[in-house]
Amino acid sequence: MSSCHNSHTNMDINGAETKTSDTHLPKKPKLSPSFISVPEIQSEFSHHDQSIVRINNGSFGCCPSAVISAQQNWQLKYLSQPDNFYFNELKKGILESRLVIKKLINAEHVDEVSIVDNATTAAAIVLQGVAWEFSLGKFKKGDAAVMLHYAYGAVKKSVEAYVRRAGGYVIEVQLPFPVNSASEIVSEFRKALERGKSNGRRVRLAVIDHVTSMPSVVIPVKELVKICREEGVDKVFVDAAHGIGCVDVDMKEIGADFYTSNLHKWFFCPPSVAFLYCRKSNECEDLHHPVVSHEYGNGLAIESAWIGTRDYSAQLVVPKVLQFVNRFEGGIEGIKKRNHKIVVEMGEMLVKAWGTHLGCPAEMCSSMVMVGLPVSLGISSESDALKLRIHLRENFSVEVPIYFRAPKDGEVNLVTGYARISHQVYNKPDDYYRFRDAIKQLVHDNFTCSLLLL
Ligand SMILES: Cc1ncc(COP(=O)(O)O)c(C=O)c1O
């Protein structure tokens, strides 16, 4: 027996089998990837005002130091030799960002991905395209456009400015809130399409949010897009300002014609950058950036990559952001899943403490949850909701948006105010306990919104 080669099997740190022998040094075990640590996360966000409990990632997102310094490098590159930056760096850099996005969202081709400033700009691009269809006579005056009643205010104005003004008949889908199931949304959407098709009209456009802003609810987009296809809606635009990093964003699965998501909300980009996806099989060529410059006519992605002299650095850091999210277990998918799980847990903790309820079931929440506020706070108007938000900021250092839900006829003693809480990697359970205790204190002190002046 060759005792000196007496080998045996071990497991390495990743669970793979390794052979070791008594005479040879064991192979260096492979280390499992080391993910970002809690102190490292704290340091990445140490520029946040530490005196404020920020449970409102949904409004403006966040950007870690690593990305801020990458952005500054881009800015310096430009400032140090603008001609070189313009002729040799900018187009290449934006293409790299588009390639990262293409992969993340499972688009068929990089030409389908344009980078723009924000979801508001993306909406203007799509809706301006629709206005042209009316003015060229492809759509008839009186043809319908359908959008959710809870569509974002700025996007509603854009529909007003481009679609209604061009002759479109705009129908709002009334959605229930609180909402108990996705099927309630599907059924209201079907009703709106029926209305759209009445009187011989055609439904030319559907604007569907992926995650509504206020109140915040995940909309069953895949199902609604499918219904639009069955009903012959010409163009489907998904406004997913909160999409990437917050919900599942897969262009092939969703199947919309146009889809926009901000990257500065849940994907750690600096303000401001968004992508606009335009399905290649669609008439993408007819879409143009509203700011016309030298690249007009060269395709939306190229047009959008030069809309005059300005700071493009936020658009150039996307590859760096990918590196940042990959420091977390599971990358952006892992972050998204954990955010959802924790924010639901925190929402449930709050409603238990206040004796209220969530605005929708957990599966309809993203990384944001609507949490019912105690009735005794007397939230009876949008102005009350705003006053309470300011009061929480100024007196309890808690930053959280508040939603007013008007009671329906005959409803008494029901929750009329909801807080929209968010969770992002920098949040701690303590943030939500501070909010819980602030509200408990107000209830204890018999506070009502009528005591506040704006
Ligand atoms: C659903 C929705 N659409 C559009 C927007 C506009 O985003 P931005 O201001 O970045 O253009 C928002 C912002 O919160 C939103 O929630």
201-235 pLDDT tens trace: 999 999 999 999 999 999 999 999 999 999 999 99
Atom of ligand 1 nearest to the CA of 120: 11
Q: What is the pLDDT of residue 16?
A: 35
Q: What is the pLDDT of residue 30?
A: 65
Atom of ligand 1 nearest to the CA of 58: 14
**Residues in a beta bridge with 237:** 207, 258
Q: What is the pLDDT of residue 288?
A: 96
Q: How far is the CA of 270 from the centre of ligand 1 (A)?
A: 15
Residue 155 Cβ contacting ligand 1 at under 6 Å = yes
Residue 314 Cβ contacting ligand 1 at under 6 Å = no
Residue 3, pLDDT above cutoff 70: no
Q: What is the pLDDT of residue 413?
A: 75
Q: How far is the CA of 241 from the centre of ligand 1 (A)?
A: 5
Q: What is the pLDDT of residue 7?
A: 38
Q: What is the pLDDT of residue 400?
A: 98
Residue 120 Cβ contacting ligand 1 at under 6 Å = yes
For 257-290, b/e burial (b = at least 16 CB within 10 A) is bbbbbbbbbbbbbbebbbbbbbbeebebeebbbe
Residue 271, pLDDT above cutoff 90: yes
Residue nearest to atom 12 of ligand 1 (CA): 241
Q: What is the pLDDT of residue 412?
A: 77
Atom of ligand 1 nearest to the CA of 211: 1
Per-residue pLDDT tens digits for 322-345: 999 999 999 999 999 999 999 999
Atom of ligand 1 nearest to the CA of 212: 1
What distance lies between CA 448 and its chain's CA centroid? 33
Q: How far is the CA of 69 from the centre of ligand 1 (A)?
A: 25
Q: What is the pLDDT of residue 31?
A: 65
Residue 6, pLDDT above cutoff 70: no
Q: How far is the CA of 120 from the centre of ligand 1 (A)?
A: 6
CA distances from 82 to 85, 87, 320 (A): 5, 9, 21
Q: What is the mean pLDDT of residues 265-291?
A: 91
What's the token pair of residue 346?
């925190």
Q: Ligand 1 pocket test: pick from 159, 242, 260, 272 the residue with the most ligand atoms within 8 Å of its Cβ.
A: 242
Q: How confident is the model at residue 280 (pLDDT cuts 50, 70, 90)?
A: confident
Residue nearest to atom 13 of ligand 1 (CA): 241
Per-residue pLDDT tens digits for 49-66: 999 999 999 999 999 999
Q: What is the pLDDT of residue 410?
A: 81
Q: What is the mean pLDDT of residues 239-258?
A: 98
Contact in structure between 333 and 367 (CB atoms under 8 Å)? no
Q: What is the pLDDT of residue 108?
A: 95
Helices (H) and strands (E) in the chain, counts: 17, 14
Cis peptide before 178 (omega within 30 of 0): yes
- The proportion of the chain whose per-residue pLDDT surpasses 70, expressed as a percent, equals 92
Q: How wide is the angle at C-alpha 402 spanned by C-alphas 397 and 407, nearest 5°?
A: 150
Per-residue pLDDT tens digits for 90-147: 999 999 999 999 999 999 999 999 999 999 999 999 999 999 999 999 999 999 999 9
Residue nearest to atom 10 of ligand 1 (CA): 118
Q: Ligand 1 pocket test: pick from 117, 152, 269 the residue with the most ligand atoms within 8 Å of its Cβ.
A: 152
Q: What is the DSSP string of 338-397?
A: HHHHHHHHHHHHHHHHHT--BSS-GGG--SEEEEEPPGGG---SHHHHHHHHHHHHHHH-
Residue 411, pLDDT above cutoff 70: yes
Mean confidence (pLDDT) of the chain: 93
Contact in structure between 312 and 98 (CB atoms under 8 Å)? no
Q: How far is the CA of 433 from the centre of ligand 1 (A)?
A: 28
Q: What is the mean pLDDT of residues 176-192?
A: 97
Please tell me what DSSP assigns to residue 256: -
Q: What is the pLDDT of residue 21?
A: 41
Spatial distance between the Cα atoms of 366 and 360, rounded to a whole number of angstroms: 11
Per-residue pLDDT tens digits for 424-435: 999 999 999 999
